[in-house]
Structure 1
Amino acid sequence: MQLEDVTAEHESREELQFQAHNDRLTGMHNREWILRILEQDLEESRDSGLAVGVLFIDLDNFKLVNDSLGHVAGDEVLAVIADRIASAMLPHDRVGRFGGDEFVVVVPNASEPADVERVAVNITAALSTELSIHGHRIIPTVSMGIALSTGGSTAASLLRDTDSALFRAKKSGRARWQFFDDTMHSQAMDRLTIEDEIRISLTKGDFVVYYQPIVALLDRSTVGYEALVRWQHPVRGLLAPADFLPIAEESRLILGIDRFVLDQVCSVLAADPHGTTTISVNVSAVDLAHESWAETFTSTLRNHGVDPSRLIVEVTETAVLSLRPSTTGSLDAVRDLGVGLHVDDFGTGFSSISLLRDLPVTGLKLDASFVAGLGDDNRGVDALAAGLAGLVAHLDLTGVAEGIETETQAQTLLSQGWLHGQGYLFGKPAPWPGQKRPAR
C-alpha cells in the first residue's frame, strides 16, 4: 500500500512538472520553457563564442481555418503542424509552441546564418504536404522571422528581433522567411520610441480631433463631419494619422486613441443637443475585436447624453473581414441604438458587396482612388463609380464620395448619382470652432 502511495505521488509530481513546461495541445515545450532554455543557451554562447539562432514561426491564414471550420479543426491543424515542425529538428535544436499559432525554434551553437537557414528549409519541406481536416484539404504554410544573437542579446531582445523579421516576412507576402538586419533594428527602435511617446501623449492629452465636412453635392451645404485624429507631438509638431496609427494599431494603443476620439466627438455633440449635424468616427479592427467595444461605445454616448442617431461608425472592409463572425454582433448592437454604420474605402476589396448583405450597413464611402481616376479616359473607373452610385440608390443607402479635389470631379459624381461628397474642394480637416489645441 505504501509503495502504491509513493508511486502515485511520483506520477502526480511528474504530471505537474510536465504541465509546467509543456503545451497541453501539442505536447511541445511551452513559452516559459523556451524563454528559460534560450537564456541558458545565450549564457553558454558567450563562453563558446558561437551564436544562438532563433526562428519565430507563425502559421499563415490560421484565422481562416478557425472561422470556417471551427476551433476543434483548428486545434487538429495545430497538432499536425507541431508534429511536422518537430520532425524537421536535429537532436540539439529546441522547439516549442509560443502561443496560439506561433512556434519558436532555438538553434544553439550556430556558427553562421546557414546553420539557422537549414532549419527553415527543413520546416518548409516538412509542411509542404497537404493535410485533410474534416474533409477539407489544406496546404499549410508558415512565415518565419530569423535572428542570430550578438554578445549583448537577451531572450527578450532576440525574440523581439525575430518578431520584427516575422513582420517583414508577412508584409512581403507570407510563406517565406526573413533574417533580421540592422535596418530592422533601427526600425524596431524607432517603433518602440513611438509606442512610448504615444503612451505618454495619451496621458498628457497631446491628441486632438479635427473635423472634415461632408456636403450635399447639389447645393454644397454641410450635412455632417468626419472626425479625424491628429497628434500634437511634443517635438515633431502636428502629425497626420499615417505617421502613427499603424504603430498604434500594432501595439493596441489604438484602443486609447479610439476612445479619446469618441469622447471628444460626444462632447461636441452634447454641446449642441438640439442640432441635427452628424459626425462619423472611425473604428479600428483592433477596437472592433475587443469584447467590450459595444459596451464602452454605448456607455460613452449615455454618459454624454448624446442622441445615437447623430453618430456614424465608419469601418473599413479590411477591419470587418478580420473579425470573427461572433464579434460582428457588436455592430448589430450599436446599430440597434440608432447609430449609423458606413463602410469606408468601399470598392477596394473583394468582399464589398457581401458586407452590404451581412451587416446592418446604412451607407458607404466611395474610395478616393475611384474619384482620382474620374475623367482620365478611364472608362472602367467611370463605369464602376456610376455603377456603385446605382447600387447605393437601389439599396436606399447614404453614399459619400471621398477625396474630391476638383470641380470636375464633383460635377461628374453628381451626374452619376452621388449625392454627398468629401474632400479638399469643400474643406480640409480642422479643429472644431472653439476647440482648444494642446498647448506646446
Structure 2
Amino acid sequence: MRQTWRWFGPSDPVSIDDMLQAGVEGVVTALHHVPPGEVWSPEEIAQRQRELSIMRDNQPSGLTWEVVESLPVSEDIKRQSGAWRAHIENWKTSLSHLADAGIRTICYNFMPVLDWTRTDLAYRLGNGATCMRFDAVDFAAFDLFLLERPEAHGDFDAELIEEARQRFAEMDDARRQQLVANIVSGLPGAATHMTIDEVKAHLDLYSGISADRLRQNLLDFLGEVSPFAEDLGVRLCCHPDDPPFPLLGLPRIMSTEKDYRGLIEAIDIPANGITLCTGSLGVRRDNDLPGMMARLGSRVHFLHLRNVALEDRRAGGSFHEAAHLEGNTDMVAVIAAILAEEAKRKRQGRDNWQIPFRPDHGQNILDDHVRQTRPGYPAIGRLKGLAELRGIMTAISHPMFSGERN
C-alpha cells in the first residue's frame, strides 16, 4: 500500500513540507484550473510537477505526482451532447501528455452535475471536532422548498416530506443560504460554486437521461479511452457516486458492486479499473467492502480510505464522516483484503502490485479549526487518519501476524 496525499496546488494551505512531515510517499493532485473538456498541456503538467518537487526552502522534496485526481469528464461527454466527441479526443490527448510525464494512474468520475453532496461542511461532534455531514431532512428541504424541483415530491416519502417542511419553517434566511452554499459547493478541486439557478439549468440538461442511458454513455466513453490508456500503460480508475443513491432526479450508476462488475466486464481491459472509496461506498449498508476488495481487487488501481457513521436505517438516510477507525466500515478487514490482493499481485509478477491509497477526508481537530482548508481536507485530521491506517497496515504486515515469520 503506497501512502499518498491529496494536494490542491500552491494555494493549498497544507504545504509540501506538511506532507513530507506526515510521511507520505507520493502526491495526488490535478490541474484544477483547467476547465473540463480542455487539454492538459505538457507545460502545465511539468509546472505542477516542479511545484511539488521542492520544499519552502527550495530543497528537493523527493515527492512526485503519482495519481491524477481528477481528470474531469465534461458534462457534454456524460450527456453525449455539444462538443462531446472533441472532449473525448482532448481527454485522450491529456492522457498521452500525462503518460509522457510518467504519471500512470488517473482517477475520474461520471457523476452528473455535482461531484459530492453534503448539507453541512462543519458538523460539530461531541468532542469538538467538525466533519462533513449529509442530513436527509435538510436535503429534502433544499430540494422541495429552495430548489423547488417539480418532481421532488415523488422522490421522498410522506413522513420525510413533512419533516422537511417543519425543518424548513424553522430555518432563518442565513441558515437557508448556508444550506444552499453547502449543497452546491461543486467540485472539491474547484474554487467556484454554482448558484441555485445554475444547478436548475444543469438539471434541465439531464432531463430524459435515464440511468441506463447514462451507463451506456459511460461505456461508450470507456470504449474510446480504455484501449488508448492500455497502449500508453496508463490505469484508469472510476470513483463511485458520492453519496451512492439518486439525488435531485439525477441517475446514479456507480454505487454498488454490481455496477462495478458490469463496468469491468463490459470493457474487459486491465486499464479499465476502479477507485475503491470506502467512504462513498460505505454509505450503503448493502456494500460489502472487504468482499468487494477481495472479488474485484485485480482491477482496483487506487484507494480512498475513510469511514462514515450511518445515522438511520433508511436508504438515502443521514450520515456523517467518522474518524478513520470508527463508523460502519471495518477498516481492519478492508486493509487485510488490500494486503492480500497485493500479495497475490506480487506472486503473479505484476509490476503494479502496490496500490496507492490516501487517507480520504478527515475531521477538523486541533489547529485545523483555524487553518482554512478545503472541506474534508484538514492537515491534522488527515494526518491522524493516515497514522491510524499506517498502524493497521504495519501490524497486519508484521511477520508475527502475516505468517511469513521463520
TM-score normalised by length of structure 1: 0.32
User: Which protein has the bigger strand share?
Assistant: 1
Larger Rg: 1
More helix by share: 1
Q: Looking at both structures, which has the greater relative contact order when contacts are Cα pairs under 8 Å and sequence separation is at least 6?
A: 2
TM-score in terms of structure 2 length: 0.35
